[in-house]
């Protein structure tokens, strides 16, 4: 059965060609995860900065480890490349040894990745915890990149939409409708595996995500939300995803550690979505 038919009440897939809703600015974020020392992180940022800065029409975000945020912030100063953190704590401050608060990030970062599947899997983060973080991030003027996605067993048992709807309802519980949130659809089975979803399936699921957010908030805000695909994106497959109008960009893990790959992903996104490279 066509997977598209399993999503109730969602609009038909947009025609391939990539142009997106006029209010949505495409975005590509690189999640460096627990890679790079301080010296490696600044050098990686410096290696990409010139080319990334020359790409227009796409928001470009680098998310180094906490320890390197301040140094990478200095490297990016004055450029169009923005900084994001990979996580933050769910309280404002206090006796949480080793943790990083939203206020600590607020002066440095514009974005913060929240609810990444590796946090959910290895650190027991629930939708309730992610929800507390979303609320605090917004309060501290950080734009959350909320990661959601099904595990392989969920996909196999046909529960993709159920899982995603639950993550949206839980993660955005009591959050007022806002265009500041970016959602990253990241099927867990596609992260770091080299096995990506097909563009068509990712676009269909992102259509469902917008539909679910529209029911929770309203369809105007849902249509304006930037929604990314993440999961084994490379310079060789990015076009397959962003050719769909539903997909506004990518959250990139492994390939964001290779300057030429990441620049290629950003440049192709600009070209397909109507921005420009090198102007
Ligand atoms: C990620 O870390 O969010 C991710 C999508 O990783 P990768 O691109 O390596 O699959």
CATH of the domain at 164: 3.20.20.70
Give 95 Cα–ligand 1 centroid separation in angstroms. Answer: 31
pLDDT interval class at 17 (50, 70, 90): low
The helix/strand/coil state of 30 is strand
DSSP summary character for residue 187: -
Report the nearest atom of ligand 1 relative to the CA of 252: 8
Which protein residue has the closest C-alpha to ligand 1 atom 7? Answer: 253
Q: Which residues of 230-246 are buried (b: 16+ CB within 10 A; e: fewer)?
A: bbbbbbebbebbbbbbb
Burial-class residue 153 by CB neighbours within 10 Å (0-12, 13-18, 19+).
exposed
Q: Quick one: 8 exposed, middle or buried, by C-beta within 10 A (0-12, 13-18, 19+)?
A: exposed
Residue 1 has pLDDT above 50, yes or no: no
pLDDT tens sequence across 145-158: 999 999 999 999 99
Span 101-127, pLDDT tens digits: 999 999 899 999 999 999 999 999 999
Q: 219: CA distance to ligand 1 center in Å?
A: 29
Ligand 1 within 6 A of 230 CB? Answer: yes
Which pLDDT value is given to residue 12? 63
Residue 68 has pLDDT above 90, yes or no: yes
Positions of E strands within 162-209: 182-185
Q: Give the residue carrying structure tokens 């983060």.
A: 125
pLDDT (average), residues 184-206: 96
Model pTM? Answer: 0.92
- pLDDT, position 179: 96
- pLDDT number for residue 142: 98
More confident position, 51 or 10: 51
Distance, CA of 124 to CA of 103 (rounded, Å) = 23
Rounded distance between C-alpha atoms, residue 129 and residue 90, angstroms: 7
Q: Is the CB of 231 under 6 A from ligand 1?
A: yes
Ligand 1 pocket residue status of 252, Cβ below 6 Å: yes
Taking CA atoms only, the protein residue closest to ligand 1 atom 2 is: 253
Confidence of residue 23 (pLDDT cuts 50, 70, 90): confident
Output helix, strand, coil percentages for the chain, rounded to the nearest 5: 45, 15, 40
Q: How far is the CA of 128 from the centre of ligand 1 (A)?
A: 23
pLDDT score of 19: 64
pLDDT higher than threshold 50 for residue 277: no
Q: How far apart are CA 97 and CA 173, in angstroms?
A: 28
**CB contact at 8 A, 111 and 63:** yes
Tell me which residue range forms the domain holding 252.
3-277
CA of 233 to the centre of ligand 1 (A): 7
Strand-strand pairing, 55-56 and 276-277: antiparallel
Contact partners, residue 110, CB within 8 Å, separation at least 6: 61, 82, 83, 84, 142, 143
Q: Is the CB of 192 under 6 A from ligand 1?
A: yes
Q: What is the pLDDT of residue 4?
A: 35
C-alpha 151 to ligand 1 mean position (Å): 14
Which residues are registered as beta bridge partners of 81? 60
> Which residues on adjacent β-strands are paired with residue 27?
59, 249
The residues annotated as belonging to the active site are: 116, 186
Q: Counting atoms of ligand 1 from 1, which one is nearest the CA of 31?
A: 2
Question: How large is the angle between the packed helices 199-216 and 160-171, nearest 10 degrees?
Answer: 40
CA dihedral sign of residues 123, 151, 14, 199? positive
Using alpha carbons, select from 227, 264, 263 the residue that is nearest to residue 20.
227
Comparison of pLDDT for 129 and 275, the residue scoring more: 129
Query: What string of DSSP letters covers 47-107?
Result: HHHHHHHTEESSEEEEE--GGGHHHHHHHHTTSSEEEEES---SSSSSS-TT---HHHHHT
Of all protein residues, the one whose alpha carbon is nearest to atom 1 of ligand 1 is 253
pLDDT tens by residue, 169-193: 999 999 999 999 999 999 999 999 9
Ligand 1 atom closest to the Cα of residue 190 is: 10
Q: For the chain, how many structural domains are there in total?
A: 1
E strand or H helix that includes residue 249? strand 249-252
Q: How confident is the model at residue 7 (pLDDT cuts 50, 70, 90)?
A: very low
């Amino acid at each position: 059965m066509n997977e598209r038919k399993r999503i109730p009440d969602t609009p038909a897939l947009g025609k391939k060609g990539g142009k997106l809703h006029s209010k949505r600015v495409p975005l590509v974020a690189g999640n460096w995860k627990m890679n790079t020392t301080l010296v490696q992180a600044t050098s990686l940022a410096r290696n990409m900065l010139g080319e990334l800065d020359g790409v227009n029409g796409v928001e470009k975000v680098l998310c180094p480890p906490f320890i390197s945020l301040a140094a990478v912030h200095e490297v990016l100063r004055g450029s169009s490349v923005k900084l994001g953190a990979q996580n933050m704590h769910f309280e404002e401050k206090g006796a949480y040894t080793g943790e990083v608060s939203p206020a600590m990030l607020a002066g440095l970062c514009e974005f913060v990745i929240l609810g990444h599947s590796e946090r959910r899997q290895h650190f027991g983060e629930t939708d309730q915890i992610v929800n507390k973080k979303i609320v605090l991030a917004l309060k501290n003027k950080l734009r959350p990149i909320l990661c959601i996605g099904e595990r392989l067993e969920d996909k196999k048992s046909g529960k993709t939409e159920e899982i995603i709807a639950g993550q949206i309802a839980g993660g955005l519980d009591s959050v007022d409708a806002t265009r500041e949130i970016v959602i990253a659809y990241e099927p867990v089975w596609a992260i770091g595996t080299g096995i990506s979803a097909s563009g068509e399936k990712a676009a269909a699921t992102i259509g469902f995500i917008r539909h679910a957010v529209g029911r929770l908030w309203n369809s105007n805000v849902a249509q304006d939300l930037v929604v990314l695909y993440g999961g084994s994106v490379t310079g060789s497959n990015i076009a397959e995803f962003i050719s769909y109008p539903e997909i506004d960009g990518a959250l990139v893990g492994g390939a964001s550690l290779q300057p030429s790959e990441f620049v290629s992903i950003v440049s192709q996104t600009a070209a397909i979505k109507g921005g420009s490279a090198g102007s």
